[in-house]
């Protein structure tokens, strides 16, 4: 039997290569269990799927036969992604900072995609650059909190009741190492990710006695459009920011962590996963 470890999605230089695990089948290693939520045909909603970690996650899930609903504000980019992913994928316009957009989300989905198995609440951003608190703009802070905190909570509130009613589901939130420790110039973004951390921990406790799983993924520096968005779309500044570090992660590295959490047997909850660049610790 062929081992189901995926070394094609970014781990080519990693220590665990197919040759080293020869003969280990999914049943033997207890992974990819038949009672796990990540099965072909499962339905997943990924917010912030038009770029970065969300797009990589949509690709990773679609590659496993999951029907992925790709959501964000930029419908044209989502349409391109869905074309790439092929049958089963669906694009939907969603602004997590707009209550009406989130409240109508489930009813705007095709009927056969409304029973969500998986939510990856990934949409998020920083705005205005890293700067001392007194130099920041209130309007920027409002959109950070509206998106990263209230938008994420709103999205969960639109999806979780259905999961509770069906007795099954898996919510993955995107925290950050910025939610475990602070840095200069990060007051509001740090606050937003500390909020994601607290919310996710408490959410897991609310459903600990049920088959609703809750996972927080906490990435370190990952090369996406995030740094450019922080500078209002200035990709030169975004690239220069990532280039100033010895090593940054690839969005596929985080997608792999998300898939790992989702593919566990029903008895296993990956509560948190901190994923950082090897040479930037
Ligand atoms: P990215 O490449 O800039 O992607 C952000 C995504 O969020 C885009 O698809 C964007 O799509 C979407 N988005 C932003 N505001 C939205 C809104 N109001 N409604 C719906 N979608 C919205 O950034 P990324 O690095 O992949 O970030 C994804 C998540 O990872 C964020 O929560 C971020 O905080 C977290 N994270 C990133 C890093 C990192 O180093 N990159 C590290 C730790 C955590 P539209 O513009 O089309 O709406």
Which residue, judged by its Cα, is nearest atom 3 of ligand 1? 226
Q: Where are the domains of the chain?
A: 6-11+36-274
Ligand 1 atom, smallest distance to 94 CA = 20
Among residues 189, 194, 207, 260, which one is catalytic? 189
Taking only the tens place, the pLDDT of each residue in 104-158 is: 999 999 999 999 999 999 999 999 988 999 999 999 999 999 999 999 999 999 9
What pLDDT sits at residue 15? Answer: 56
Any atom of ligand 1 within 6 Å of the Cβ of 48: yes
Threshold 0.85, pTM exceeds: yes
What pLDDT sits at residue 278? Answer: 95
pLDDT along the chain (281 residues), means of 10: 40 52 46 80 98 98 98 98 96 98 98 97 93 94 97 98 97 98 96 98 95 97 94 93 95 98 95 94 56
What pLDDT sits at residue 219? Answer: 98
- Strand 272-275 versus strand 212-219 pairing type: parallel
Cβ-contact 131, 187 below 8 angstroms: no
Any atom of ligand 1 within 6 Å of the Cβ of 53: yes
**Residue to substitute in 54, 199, 241, 242 for testing ligand 1 pocket (most ligand atoms within 8 angstroms of CB):** 54
189 carries an active-site annotation: yes
Cβ-based burial of 246 (10 A; exposed 0-12, middle 13-18, buried ≥19): exposed
CATH of 6-11+36-274, one of 3.40.50.720, 2.60.40.1510, 1.10.645.10, 3.50.50.60: 3.40.50.720
Q: Give CA–CA dist 275/253, Å, rounded.
A: 8
Any atom of ligand 1 within 6 Å of the Cβ of 238: no
Residue 170's contacts (CB-CB under 8 Å, 6 or more residues apart) are 37, 117, 118, 119, 212, 213, 214, 215, 261, 262
What pLDDT sits at residue 19? Answer: 44
What pLDDT sits at residue 35? Answer: 86
């Amino acid at each position: 039997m062929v081992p189901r470890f995926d070394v094609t999605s970014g781990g080519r230089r990693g220590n665990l290569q197919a040759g080293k695990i020869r003969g280990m089948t999914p049943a033997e290693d207890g992974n990819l269990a038949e009672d796990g939520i990540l099965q072909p045909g499962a339905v997943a909603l990924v917010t912030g799927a038009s770029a970065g970690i969300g797009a990589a996650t949509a690709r990773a899930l679609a590659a496993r036969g999951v029907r992925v609903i790709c959501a964000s504000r930029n419908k044209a980019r989502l349409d391109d992604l869905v074309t790439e992913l092929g049958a089963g994928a669906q694009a939907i316009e969603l602004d997590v900072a707009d209550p009406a957009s989130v409240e109508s989300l489930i009813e705007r989905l095709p009927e056969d995609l409304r029973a969500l198995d998986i939510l990856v609440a990934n949409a998020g951003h920083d705005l205005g650059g890293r700067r001392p608190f007194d130099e920041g703009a209130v309007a920027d802070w409002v959109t950070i909190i509206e998106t990263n905190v209230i938008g994420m909570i709103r999205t969960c509130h639109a999806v979780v009741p259905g999961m509770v009613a069906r007795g099954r589901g898996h919510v993955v939130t995107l925290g950050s190492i910025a939610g475990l420790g602070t840095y200069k110039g990060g007051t509001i973004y740090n606050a937003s990710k500390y909020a994601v951390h607290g919310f996710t921990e408490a959410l897991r406790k609310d459903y600990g006695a049920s088959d609703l799983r809750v996972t927080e993924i906490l990435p370190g520096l990952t090369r996406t459009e995030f740094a450019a968005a922080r500078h209002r779309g200035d990709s030169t500044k975004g690239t220069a920011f990532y280039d100033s570090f010895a090593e940054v992660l690839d969005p596929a590295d985080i997608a792999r962590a998300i898939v790992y959490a989702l593919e566990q047997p029903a008895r296993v909850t990956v509560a948190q996963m901190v994923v950082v660049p090897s040479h930037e610790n």
